[in-house]
Amino acid sequence: MRILLVEDDADLADGIARALRAEHFAVDIAANGEDGAHLGDTGIYDAAVLDLGLPVKPGITVLKEWRDAGRSLPVLILTARDGWSDKVEGFRAGADDYLTKPFRVEELVMRLRALARRAAGHAAARIVCGPLAFDAQTGQFELDGLPLRLTALEWRVLSALMLRKGIVIDRLDLIEHAYESDADPDSNSLEVIVGRLRKKIGAALIETVRGRGYRLTDEPRCD
């Protein structure tokens, strides 16, 4: 999963990013509203964390612009503004969730996972495809009922495939989910990650759709 974090407090942004990366999220940081708006317009993200009191362009303006442009990116407002009128304004502008400072990072992580899961169309936290199961609330994978150990890159690619199981995901889309914007992956890096995943979960589960991308499939047993 890849998160856009728009926060002008550098220390807070760094702390949030470290905590999210420890949970295998990829994180891009914007320190002002204008840069945040641009990243949200041009990047592929599972969710955005948006402060309201941003320099250059206020967070509420960024959110309204995204929604006016038809962008469905799930947005969690993270702000010190805890008044009822502020929350109403945020939700009316198109926010999907609202969390006030101070906060527990664990709660932020859980809320972001829930936003990404629901945006992908899953009501239940547990997603199953054949022998593979993913708890989208805890971020844990299981294979045949046993915990599956994955690197951060493997987790990002497999979670993207699992959240959209049965759907072909474009190669560039998967790369965007796996890497942060300042990364410079090798041209065959995705193929290497997919190859490692196939060794761990079984080659048949990840289908290569030539000229398009990859699909997680076990059609007789997906549910």
Q: Measured between alpha carbons, how far is 67 from 77 in angstroms, rounded to an integer?
A: 14
Buried b (16+ CB within 10 A) or exposed e, 100-123: eeeeeeeebbebbbbbbbeebebe
- Last residue of some domain: 64, 98, 119? 119
Q: Assign residue 50 the CATH number of its domain.
A: 3.40.50.2300
Which whole-number Å values give the CA distances from 137 to 23, 111, 163, in the listed order?
12, 8, 12
Percent of the chain with pLDDT over 70: 98
Alpha helices in the chain (DSSP H): 10-22, 33-42, 59-68, 84-93, 105-119, 152-163, 171-178, 189-201
Same domain, 101 and 74: yes
Same domain, 109 and 131: no
Summarize pLDDT for 129-171 with one digit per residue, the tens.
Answer: 999 999 999 999 999 999 999 999 999 999 999 999 999 999 9
H/E stretch holding 3: strand 2-6
Same domain, 150 and 70: no
The residue among 132, 135, 183 whose CA lies nearest residue 23 is 135
Predicted local confidence at residue 219, as pLDDT: 62
Mean pLDDT, to the nearest integer, of 38-55?
96
β partners of residue 79: 100
Summarize pLDDT for 77-123 with one digit per residue, the tens.
Answer: 999 999 999 999 999 999 999 999 999 999 999 999 999 999 999 99
Length in residues, the chain: 223
Q: Does residue 28 surpass a pLDDT of 50? A: yes
Write down the pTM of the prediction: 0.89
- Structural domain of residue 187, as residue ranges? 126-216
Q: Does residue 196 surpass a pLDDT of 90? A: yes
DSSP readout, 187-210? Answer: TTHHHHHHHHHHHHH-GGGEEEET
Q: Assign residue 192 the CATH number of its domain.
A: 1.10.10.10
Predicted local confidence at residue 220, as pLDDT: 46
How many domains are contained in the chain? 2
- Last residue of some domain: 84, 101, 119? 119
Q: Does residue 34 surpass a pLDDT of 60? A: yes
- Last residue of some domain: 119, 153, 169? 119
